[in-house]
Structure 1
Amino acid sequence: MLAFVVRRIAVSIPILLISSFIVFILASLSGNPLSGLLTRNPPPSPETIALEAHRLRLDLPLMERYWLWLTGLFTGDFGPSVQSNLDVGAEVWHRFGVTIRLILVAMVVAVLLAVVIGVISAVKQYSKTDYTATFLGFLFLAMPAFWLAILLKQWGVDFNNAVDEQVIYTIGATSVPPPEGFWAQVGDIAGHMVLPTISLALISYAAWSRYQRASMLEVMNSDYVRLARAKGLSRRRVMVKHALRNALIPLTTVTALDLASIIGGAVVTETVFQWRGMGDLLLNAIRTDDVYVTMAWLLVTATVVILFNLIADLLYAVLDPRIRYA
């Protein structure tokens, strides 16, 4: 098992380096960080423009800028922002903490829903339960992320107006000012996460439940499951220990591959609910041509995607011991 983990980590490192290079090239060619300065009226002096270009390292060759940026990452230096007083690293990690809790909770909820509904649909194939689950799955799959988020937000506003009290939070990741006390703050954060989590989880679970259903049907018709039934094992043990464990492998793959789309959905969801997370950071960086903030965002998300795929590889070995000895 240890050798399996080491091999997977060894493969992930060069992928991350290649990702960092692609991120740097794309972000560097996407815009001019001096555009905000050049469009001012009255225009700044050439000396001011030259100093700003030097601060942003625009007077250096492209590969030298990449090397400075890459080596600076090991010390926590994500490069200079167009906002001279902004610490890119500190801002990214603060915003990342806001976004990652939404993504993780939404993924857990979506996976649980997908497994439960997928298994029930497979066990009760062609029943009313199966048809209902299929209809709901396709319904949520067809819904745009922003539209579902807007519907949930409007429902929360209408509900609060109906009861004349703030019961459901519809704006922000936390209250302003935050409540005093640790548990009060935890409850406040959880309350603000309800609607964004539901929005993100429903969009994700819809496709995953169909994969889980198909995988479960395939496993239930396999020889080893029929052998387990013939040996007299209980239906529960056959389903959980023999069928479900192997049926989770395709879902693990799909979940890891869909992480990038979930991050994209989180950007939309955060915009609708006015969260100051990674989504808001990215959109502001694009508006202001803040290249180093954009690169930091892309690098962090690329790292998360690679990390989740690494975790998926390790889960394969846990779900199917034959993989670790391959």
Structure 2
Amino acid sequence: MTKFILRRMGISFLVLLGGSLLLFVLTINSGDPIEDLRESNADNRDYLIRQRTAYMGLDQPWYSRYWEWLTGAAKCVTLNCDLGTNRNGVEVTSLLGNAASSTLRLVVLATVLAIVIGITVGILTAIRQYSGFDYVVTFLAFLFFSLPVFWAAVLLKEYGAIRFNDWIVEPTFTPLQILVTAGLLGIAVQAVMGGDLKRRALTAGATLVFVGAVMYYFSAVEWFRRPAFGAVLILVVGVAAAVGITALLAGLKNRKVMWSALTTVGAGLAVYFAFLPVLREPTWLSLLAILALVVVLGAVSGWFWGGYSRRLAMGVSVAVGVVMAFLIVVDRAVAGWMGLLSLKSRPISTIGSQTPNFTGDFWESFLDKGVQIILPTIVLTLVSVASYTRYTRSSMLEVLEQDYVRTARSKGLSERVVIVKHAFRNALIPITTIVAFDFAGLIGGAIITEQVFGWKGMGELFQTGLKTVDPAPVMAFFLVTGTAAVLMNLAADLAYAGLDPRIRR
């Protein structure tokens, strides 16, 4: 395995080297970087030309300029990158740091959501092949896959930002809105749950009544302006997550795993009350410490309760611990929503990744950045989730037809065990390839999304470099995207070996 990894890293290095050389040559030959100064009538034109020539190294041959960039980029191995300066003399390393943090924050979230949603929906459609639910998801998948990114982004700006900001002034629902929304969700839920006609009718009716009651309550108390979460909801959602994760991974009959998961919920709630003073004005380090504490408590709970299922119990409890930490963050963020509205009456801006010169506290700043990431994340997620859904469905259907799956069913194993432990693991092998390419592709695809939403990210850095015939920003973009592609492909290869032991040989 070590030789395989080293060989792949060597090949990847050669690919990056060749790609960087080609991109550098194409960029410097795409135009004249001092054309605007040649046409200028400024008195200090000659000085500006000499200054830009010095910044960009235009007095050197192209191979010297490329070698200078390559030696500076090689220093990134020791975390001391020197990517040169742009045509204005600004260090590209500082520009790259701000741009990469903005873009990666967007791309990582979109990738995680697309993987979770796409794979889950793909499994459901494979299990319920040729059902109404399968046909609807197939239609939506093809729709999202062919959706023009810029068009979807503009629509989201109109309805998700401008009209939402108008609505949040008086966040109430009309009876017609409540009825239509509850009815549509009832139809969707019964399609997912399936069953005979009686079961579908009961599911749709129960969903309609529940959603209608919740929307009426939210409208009556103006919950969207004065929201509340609280310890009770943390407990309820935590218990539901514990039961759901246990049912999926271990089965409800495994009482030891169930008690381990529920103990983790109690431990998470105890951490919430113990650290409530810290959570009112935390730091990122304190939040990470709380996450680590809840995860450790979950692992300890799994070890204590697990018995013969100790490893499984620890895994389930750690997953429940992560959910509890997430719920704690949601509770504190919800509590800061009123403060955000008092500082910013129109919370979702159509331009930028955050509000300039924002003066709020930690949670208000957290929400300000959070609401700005929602719309571009939705755009990127919709495009990716379609691919994950179709590939997962196809892979699952192929695996479900294999002999070992039929054998597992003939042994009397439950459908949960057949799907989760036998079919899903093998279906993940081709999906892993899609994940590796999609992450790197999203960084490049985010250029259009960032331009529509006015994000100062990698897309702007790349576009600025191309327009001004400045290779330094363009090569910085390549360094991040190319390295991401190489690392994700290496991770995919290692994941293959983990999913299928035969590949290790």
Q: Map 1:195-214 to 2 at 5 A.
A: 195-214=375-394
Which residue of the partner structure matches residue 56 of structure 2?
Answer: 56
Deviates more, 1:178-187 or 1:73-82: 178-187
8 Å contact 2:353–2:373 — kept in the other structure? yes
Structure number with higher relative contact order (C-alpha < 8 Å, ≥ 6 residues apart): 1
1-structure distance, mates of 2:347, 2:50 = 53
User: Does 1:163 find its partner at 2:168?
Assistant: yes
C-alpha displacement at 1:260, in angstroms?
Answer: 4.3
C-alpha displacement at 1:168, in angstroms?
Answer: 3.6
2-structure distance, mates of 1:71, 1:248 = 39
Aligned match of 1:101 in 91, 102, 105? 105
Aligned match of 2:453 in 233, 250, 273? 273
1-structure distance, mates of 2:149, 2:122 = 22
8 Å contact 2:86–2:472 — kept in the other structure? yes
Q: Map 1:42-121 to 2 at 5 A.
A: 42=42, 46=46, 49-73=49-73, 74=75, 75-84=80-89, 86-121=90-125
Which residue of the partner structure matches residue 30 of structure 1?
Answer: 30
User: Does 1:130 find its partner at 2:134?
Assistant: yes
User: Does 1:16 find its partner at 2:20?
Assistant: no
8 Å contact 2:24–2:475 — kept in the other structure? yes
1:174-208 CA-to-partner distances (Å, cap 9, x unmatched) read 12223444343333222211111111100111122
Deviates more, 1:157-166 or 1:192-201: 157-166
C-alpha displacement at 1:2, in angstroms?
Answer: 4.0
> What SS does the aligned partner of 1:115 have?
helix
Aligned match of 2:498 in 314, 318, 324? 318
Deviates more, 1:73-82 or 1:88-97: 73-82
8 Å contact 2:128–2:134 — kept in the other structure? yes
C-alpha displacement at 1:48, in angstroms?
Answer: 5.1
Which residue of the partner structure matches residue 150 of structure 2?
Answer: 146
8 Å contact 1:78–1:88 — kept in the other structure? yes
1-structure distance, mates of 2:71, 2:355 = 38
> What SS does the aligned partner of 2:15 have?
helix
Which residue of the partner structure matches residue 188 of structure 1?
Answer: 368
C-alpha displacement at 1:18, in angstroms?
Answer: 2.0
Which residue of the partner structure matches residue 300 of structure 1?
Answer: 480
Deviates more, 1:128-137 or 1:298-307: 298-307
Which residue of the partner structure matches residue 429 of structure 2?
Answer: 249
2-structure distance, mates of 1:277, 1:97 = 8
Q: State percent identity of aligned pairs.
A: 44
C-alpha displacement at 1:281, in angstroms?
Answer: 1.9
2-structure distance, mates of 1:96, 1:267 = 12
Q: Counterpart amino acid of 2:7?
A: R
C-alpha displacement at 1:246, in angstroms?
Answer: 1.2
**Count of residue pairs brought into register by the alignment:** 324
> What SS does the aligned partner of 1:24 have?
helix
Q: Counterpart amino acid of 2:9?
A: I
Deviates more, 1:105-114 or 1:246-255: 246-255
Larger Rg: 2
1:141-174 CA-to-partner distances (Å, cap 9, x unmatched) read 1210111111111102112113335244433211
TM-score normalised by L of structure 2: 0.61
C-alpha displacement at 1:42, in angstroms?
Answer: 4.0
Change (3 A) 1:137 1:43: farther
Runs of 4+ in 1 over 6 A off after TM superposition: none
1-structure distance, mates of 2:415, 2:45 = 79
Deviates more, 1:214-223 or 1:19-28: 19-28
C-alpha displacement at 1:59, in angstroms?
Answer: 1.7
C-alpha displacement at 1:266, in angstroms?
Answer: 1.0
Give the gaps of 5 or more residues in structure 2.
170-344
Which residue of the partner structure matches residue 39 of structure 2?
Answer: 39
TM-score normalised by L of structure 1: 0.92
2-structure distance, mates of 1:7, 1:242 = 32
1:35-55 CA-to-partner distances (Å, cap 9, x unmatched) read 232221247555653453243
